[in-house]
Structure formats: C-alpha cells, structure tokens
Structure 1
C-alpha cells in the first residue's frame, strides 16, 4: 500500500467525469411531499402516544393531508435518498429497496407466520403439539439446534424443565371427567360444581372456570410474564399455553398471543424490533449481524439496536460507552463547548460542522480539534494531517510508576474521546443542516430560472454523505482506541482515517459555502470522492487490514 496522497486523488478526477449521473432521475421518481424524512424531528407534526405491539409507548405522527398540494412544488425533505452499500459482511448499509440475502424487514404478521412455521418444523420432527413446541423453543431462545440437541440427549429432562412433561405424557386437559355435581374448586372452595364447570390441564389440578378466568385475567394483566405462568395449584410447574387460554378465556387470547410474539423477537438473536418510535417492524438476519435501514427511516445495527457503528464491534462499543460514562466528569472538564484562539486567546464558539476555524478577532485560522494552524492541515501546503494520531508529549515512557501509567492512559483516552466527541457533534450539526437544506435548495433554484429541482439535489446528497462520514469517523476513533499496534496495522489504519477525515472536512467546507460562491461540480465531485473513502476504510477493516 502506498502512503502517497496521489494514490487517492485519482478518485476525484474519475468522479468528475461522470458527475451528475445521480441527478438524472426523472421528476416522477422523486417522492411526494407526504413522504418526508421521519428523521427530521423539527419538521414532525404533533405526535400521538400509542401502545405498539412491542408494549412500548411509541410516537405516531398523523399522516399528511396534501391531496390538494401544488403538483409543481418541490419534493419534501427526505426524498430521493441515496444509498451507500458497504458490501463486506459486518458493515452492510442497507436500504429497504436494497436488502441483500439474509436480511429483511417484516411486519408483525409476517413475524407471526415465521414463528408458526418454525414451531411446525419442531412439531413434525419431535411428534409433539404446537403448544409444547412453542414452550420448548421459547426456553431455548428460539434456537432450533439447541433445542434438538437437548431433546435428543434427554427428552424427559428437557420437557420437565420446560414445564410441559405432563402435556406430552398425560391425556390432555379440558373439562373434568365424570358427571353430576359435587366437584370442589380448590381456589374458591365451592364444592357444588358440575363437571363441565370445572377445567384442568394435563397435570390434573381442577378448578372452576370462573376461577380459571380470574387467574388468567390477572396473569395477562401482569404483562409479558404471563407467558411463563404455571398451573394455579401450589408448586405445580405445568406451564399455561395458548391452548388453555383459548379454552377458558378467549377474550385475553389476543393479548397473550402478542406477548408470545414479542418474546419470539426479544429472545431471538437473529431478529430485532426496529427501535424507531412507533415502528412495529422487525429486522431479521440469518447471521444476527448487519446494519439495516427501516422503511420508517431509522437505521440500526441488528445485533445491538444502536445506530450503525462500523468499523467498531458491538462488544467494543459497549465497553467504550461504559468507559465514557465512567470518565464523563473528566472528559466534560477537558471538552468545553468553547475553546480559546491559540493566537489571541479570544473565546471561540463552534457553530458549524467544519473543524476549520477562523478567529473573528485576529483572523487566525486553526483546527478546532488540535488547535494547530490550519495551514498544517491543508493538502495545498503538503502538510500532514495529524489530528487522528495519538502522540504522548512530554512524558517519560520509561517511567513505570502507577501515577505515570495512569496519566498516560488518561491522556490516551482523552485523545480518542475528544475526537469521538468532536465528530459526534459535527454529525448532529450535519443532521440539523439537513433540515435546512431544502430551503437552500429552493433558494438555489429560484436564483436561476434554468435550474430544475433535480439539479439542486446535490446539496441534499452532500449533506447526507456528511452525516454518514461523521458517523463513520466518530466510530473509527473507538475502533482505534482498542486496536493493537501490530506490524504497522494501526499506522495503516490511521492513514485511511486521515484521508477520510481530510476530504470530509473539505466537503463540509464546500457544502456550507454561501450559495452565490458555491460550485455545483466541486460539491458533486467531492461527495463522490468522500463516498469512496468511506467504503475504502470499511472494506479495509472487513478484509483484516492486510498489507496492500
């Protein structure tokens, strides 16, 4: 692999040769105003709270009523989103229209059908009822192989542990056998029930139907734990299933079945509810890994449910977040919302996404992250962008005292946290900037009568690319914090990180320019270049960071 920047600049020229290809979409392909981006919180209508199938208080926005909208009006924010497919396993960026094999979005009813299909497989293989198969699969977290292994090793022990042994070995439940009256319910203690007024599961413990109904209503009212409820008899481990609920109290069966469905998704390592507010769709994966974009606009990691965080793994991200939480007091002290100009020491506030700062007092240009002169970061000067590398300054590496080691570790952590935080803030700014992009697009179109709405889509595409870049850059610092420096791997990774960071800053500058100074070709070309660098760094990590 070459460390020369010239190896990368060719992407820029290649991009310019076909710039504008993405703009050749016909106006009919653009989304209508009703299809606005749900990520734009500032543009949402008043939210209504509702209980979704996950049992959470979600937010549902009223549908827009734009039937009489001007057909010549520009599309609402969120239309024509460009997808970036980071193909290697572990860093897939998916859109609903481009889901590779093994990853899919499903409605709740589709999930129910999938669950039932899996239950039927077990029923056919083991010769047991669907109710028993459901309980067994739930106990094994819907892992078919784990259940089959346990069942083949010791079927009775597996059935007993699940609380369904008598359902398999017994004669089944239902109305109490016999005739006449004189049957006693051990809950209400009434001793004059007819046989058809009593009900017992396979375990044989019989209670009157009124007491059964009261018991089931109470358990379902307790919430999701109802699917683990057992026989009302003290100490009886027999688990209540949908069969008993249907026999005794059909009115609570829908809620019981919904809790069963939620359990299927929550326990299943290959599925996850979309974390979007009010969304009831489920993402499913054959491997349990991957990133997906839901139809509601929310993007998330299937394994942990957080936003896509390639190249860092879910376990490392969990460790990082815990560390950041523990170190938050120190980090907050180091990272203020304002910084002093390195030259005149005037307090500077960062109110845009770009890290290129210009002091309004003395006009000194410097980097927000490292506070060094900006000309040390520019490609035109041949400078070297060093903000992404940690260098222990002024410390004696031979000092092995506990205090010295603690200081070095804190300095190292703060180096990565500061940059993680900076790109996180820039990501938030870019998202806010996206909300204002449509207004800038309208202004740009109005300023030139020959410019169509399609012609100004490059502004939105650039801002969306910036959001993606800031997110990836943010997590590259978490990745680098845990990356061991073996055989120059870390240095090569930081080189990729440096190139992405450099061109991201350039795209940020171009996209924030005044409209009268903005060059469309420059923005389009730089957007394409940055897109390639995002893909390159993720592919580099996925392929093991081998020497090129």
Structure 2
C-alpha cells in the first residue's frame, strides 16, 4: 500500500476530530462550544464537563470559562445548560442560587462540616435557633455556635463569662509563678525566661548560647577570665578588685627556699 494511503488511514477520519485534552478521536458533533467562542472546538464533551466541575471547585460560579487554551470567554448560564451534563447543570445552578442568597443579610450558611447548604433566617420570625433545611443541624444565631441544649442564651452567656474569668485568673496565676521563679536571659535580643532547678549560679541559655551569673545576671566569661570583681556590685559573689595584686606563688616559694638555706648555714656542723 502506498505511503500516502497509509497516512490517510492512520489519521482522523473525515468528520472526526482529536480532543486536545484526552487525545481521543470523536465525531465533530461531540465537540461543544459556547456562542461567544470564535475558535474551532477542540475539547470533547466529556473533558469539557470535567473542566466545568473542576472550575466550580476552585473559583466562583460566574467565572467558569472555556477550557480551550488561550480562550478567555466566560461561560454563561445558557452555555452551561447547553454543554454540561444534568448533574453539572444542577451543581452550577445551586452555586448560582447560593451566591444570590448569600447577598441577603439574613442568609446563613450551615456550619456542619459536611454540609454546604444555607438559607434565609430572620431572627424576628424564626428566633435564635437556625435549623438547616438540608441536614437538620441547629445553630445559635446569637452566638454563632452549635445550639446550646437545655440552656437559654442568657445562661450560656453566664457560663461562658464564668469560664473566661476562670481562664483569666489561671493565666494571671501562671504569669505570677513564672515571674517569681524565672529570670529573663540577659543575652542581647533574648529575654527568654529561665528557671534555676539547682546547682551552681553559673547559668547557660541555649538559645543565644549566653552564659551569666544567676544572682546578678552579669556575663560569665569576664568573671571566669578576670575574677569575682566582674560580678555586679550588688551580687553576693562580688569581691572588690585589689589595687596591689598578690605576689606570685613562685616568689613566695623562693622566699621560703631562701630562708631554709639560711637556717642550714647557721646550724653548727656538730648539731646536724
């Protein structure tokens, strides 16, 4: 068979087209398009429907567009009902309705996690209890929480206020304990509260790796290198710096050795 005939047989048949999304070949009638699109239809009906559903997951219902690459046409209500399946049409219409209702100040969404419904709730007529028409979930519209069973809104306020007061007292007590038992690290830019649980007064904060005296918060390195006069003066470990430093140990030993030699020289031979 000639090569040109093989190419014809392997390509799309007349009246068919390949979908640019799934690469399947269908009849041209299986490629829908919106009235506003000016390009050739390139996406099959099944892929078009899937695109509409995916866009409803990610964007507003009135911003669903043509799935053809490079096309900026936004689909209208008539386009959806012409192109999409019945299930997708229903979903689109529900999203449209919910958007219109949500503009009403009396509209409330159901707060049940697995329910996406909502409805108009007029407090004056319906009272403080919102009951979802889709799932039956009840909500207190005064406090915007699940309905508090066997408890009026006034009693709910008292209970919540009492709990909040107790939590505030506990928080204050905790802060007082922290203030009494900890000191803030004096390292630059730290101020992390540190608690001493025993041992010596040489403290080390791990965050800036800063070492200091627990009693006066003086940096520890100068104390270690130069002595206790580097503690702050109000510290009980502070020792004033001596203006005349002590004699080196080797000098003292030399004086002792010299005195020992003198004693040996002065001792008579017969007394040795």
Measured against the shorter chain, the TM-score band is 0.3 to 0.5
Normalised TM-score (structure 1): 0.20
Q: Higher RCO, 1 or 2 (CA under 8 Å, sep at least 6)?
A: 1
Normalised TM-score (structure 2): 0.36
* Rg larger for: 2
Higher helix share: 1
